[in-house]
């Protein structure tokens, strides 16, 4: 009740100024809203409570604090397990690749399926958006990579050349190349326009076995380097132009199943058995070891500001980590089988994840972000309602200040009088 009272008071002042002949600009409206929120959060009165009640409330609050990120939406439509997920660069869409052999494009706001891309003859293992958001690349167990037009759903290119399952695809930052990793233990660099293979990197000669990890790849933000996971417990760094091997990052105790460059290009994250390691790209030093998963880490995604990392694991959880401290900020539970892929939204407020058990994509968001969004919506609706009802009551413009009153019709009492 106190929240509603203060919000309407602030908005009433804005409306009063409007009818007193003072020009009300959008900036003034948002300033008024901001002041209202600031005053409310800073000056909420303290109410003394019984100790037992206070303790119960503290316990409840602590429980809520441990669950301050929750599942926002579930996108359902695939007919088999989903292997890969990726946000579009503008954050409005999500692409998902599934064992039903399709790629689906989803609208994040509505949860509606915008496109179903059909053409692969086996599981789709990996999906990636181009930086301009106009194309999607998909890798499949049919040993091919396909390039799709996002707007039309048309298949633009089929890149054929691997001799085993394709396990990873990613666009270069400039959108001119695609890198693909495969169980044939090679990484191929493809020209997007012509579909020609530009480079083949032999990551390792070890034969594929049941214990081999899918070969994952990641471009550096400037497109000059490529990182790849390895079955030799290492991460390898390559020069994109020449195809030359640059360095190895050593320290994992098992095969490396996922890699990702940080947005500023200074770090590489890699996932192995039950941990995530952060490496300094230049020196090769291990900066952090993020421990907390209880089974192999399958996917890693940096937030766009580089301050957080999301990791998915076969322990059925998604974890959010602080890059600087190495602290686990949140554990997201909700999948009933191993998590296969995670992706941060470009604005860093959402995480998408997919699992072996489910035919759906889960979208997670901090409820504090949702609460702020709801508050702003309520405030704007209140402003519109107050403006409309004042016009209905007094006409436009008001004849004088004398006797003007604004009422909060929602709670049925007078909230302010201007004399």
Q: What is the 3-state secondary structure (H, E, C) of 77-96?
A: CCCCCEEEEEECCCCCEEEE
Inter-residue contact 342 to 335 (CB < 8 Å): no
Inter-residue contact 247 to 285 (CB < 8 Å): no
DSSP state of 377: H
DSSP state of 83: E
Per-residue pLDDT at 58: 54
| C-alpha span between 276 and 309 (Å, rounded) | 9
User: CB count, 10 Å around CB of 127?
Assistant: 29
Q: What ranges do the domains of the chain cover?
A: 2-65+369-418, 70-365
Inter-residue contact 86 to 343 (CB < 8 Å): yes
Per-residue pLDDT at 387: 66
* Alpha helix positions (H), 22-176: 26-43, 51-65
Per-residue pLDDT at 202: 83
Per-residue pLDDT at 372: 72
Average pLDDT by stretches of 10, the chain with 419 residues? 43 42 43 43 44 51 47 92 97 97 97 97 97 97 98 97 95 97 92 96 63 77 94 90 93 91 98 93 96 95 97 96 96 93 96 88 84 71 68 52 42 37
| C-alpha span between 334 and 385 (Å, rounded) | 39
DSSP state of 214: P
| E strand or H helix at 388 | helix 367-394
Q: Which residues contact 95 (CB under 8 A, 6 or more apart)?
A: 85, 86, 88, 103, 104, 105, 106, 127, 128, 129, 136
| C-alpha span between 75 and 116 (Å, rounded) | 13
3-state secondary structure of 207: coil
Range 70-365: architecture per CATH? 7 Propeller (2.130)
By DSSP bridging, strand 267-271 and strand 258-261 are: antiparallel
CA distances from 159 to 124, 140, 342, 376 (A): 14, 11, 25, 47
Tokens 């890969």 appear where?
84
Inter-residue contact 177 to 137 (CB < 8 Å): no
Per-residue pLDDT at 213: 55
Per-residue pLDDT at 391: 59
Decide: residue 225, CB within 10 A, 0-12 exposed, 13-18 middle, 19+ buried.
buried
Decide: residue 369, CB within 10 A, 0-12 exposed, 13-18 middle, 19+ buried.
middle
| C-alpha span between 382 and 114 (Å, rounded) | 34
| C-alpha span between 253 and 231 (Å, rounded) | 10
Per-residue pLDDT at 359: 81
Cross-strand bridge partners of residue 74: 362
3-state secondary structure of 61: helix
Model's pTM, two decimal places? 0.75
Half-sphere exposure of 244 (CA within 13 A, CB side): 4
3-state secondary structure of 398: coil
Per-residue pLDDT at 91: 97
| C-alpha span between 234 and 349 (Å, rounded) | 31
Among 122, 120, 119, 155, which residue's Cα sits nearest to residue 136? 155
| C-alpha span between 256 and 222 (Å, rounded) | 23
């Amino acid at each position: 009740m106190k929240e509603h009272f203060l919000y309407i008071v602030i908005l009433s002042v804005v409306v009063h100024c409007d009818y007193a002949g003072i020009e009300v600009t959008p900036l003034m409206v948002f300033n008024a809203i901001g002041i209202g929120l600031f005053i409310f959060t800073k000056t909420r009165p303290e109410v003394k409570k019984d100790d037992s009640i206070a303790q119960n409330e503290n316990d409840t609050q602590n429980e809520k604090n441990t669950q301050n990120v929750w599942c926002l939406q579930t996108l359902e439509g695939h007919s088999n397990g989903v292997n890969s997920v990726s946000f579009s660069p503008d954050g409005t869409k999500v692409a998902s690749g599934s064992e039903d052999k399709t790629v689906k494009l989803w609208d994040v706001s509505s949860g509606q399926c915008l496109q179903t891309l059909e053409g692969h003859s086996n599981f789709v293992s990996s999906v990636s958006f181009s930086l301009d958001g106009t194309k999607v690349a998909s890798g499949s167990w049919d040993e091919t990579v396909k390039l799709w037009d996002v707007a039309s759903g048309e298949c633009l290119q089929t890149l054929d050349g691997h001799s085993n399952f394709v396990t990873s695809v990613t666009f270069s930052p400039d959108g001119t190349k695609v890198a693909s990793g495969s169980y044939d233990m090679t990484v191929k660099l493809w020209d997007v326009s012509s579909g020609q293979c530009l480079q083949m990197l032999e990551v390792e000669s070890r034969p594929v076995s049941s214990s081999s990890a899918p070969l994952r790849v990641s471009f550096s933000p400037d497109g000059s380097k490529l990182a790849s996971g390895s079955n030799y417990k290492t991460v390898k760094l390559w020069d994109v132009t020449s195809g030359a091997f640059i360095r190895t990052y050593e320290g994992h105790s098992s095969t490396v199943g996922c890699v990702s460059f940080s947005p500023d290009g200074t770090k590489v994250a890699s996932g192995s058995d039950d941990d995530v390691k952060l490496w300094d790209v230049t020196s090769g030093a291990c900066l952090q070891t993020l421990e907390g998963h209880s089974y192999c880490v399958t996917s890693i995604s940096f937030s766009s500001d580089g301050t957080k990392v999301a990791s998915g694991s076969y322990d059925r959880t998604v974890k959010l980590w602080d890059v600087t401290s190495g602290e686990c900020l949140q554990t997201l539970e909700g999948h009933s089988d191993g998590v296969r892929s995670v992706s941060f939204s470009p604005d860093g407020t959402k995480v998408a994840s997919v699992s072996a058990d489910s035919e759906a994509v889960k979208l997670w968001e901090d409820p504090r972000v949702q609460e702020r969004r709801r508050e702003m919506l309520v405030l704007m609706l209140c402003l519109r309602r107050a403006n409309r009802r004042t016009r209905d009551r007094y006409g436009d413009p008001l004849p004088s200040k004398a006797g003007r009153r604004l009422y909060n019709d929602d709670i049925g009492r007078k909230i302010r009088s201007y004399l």
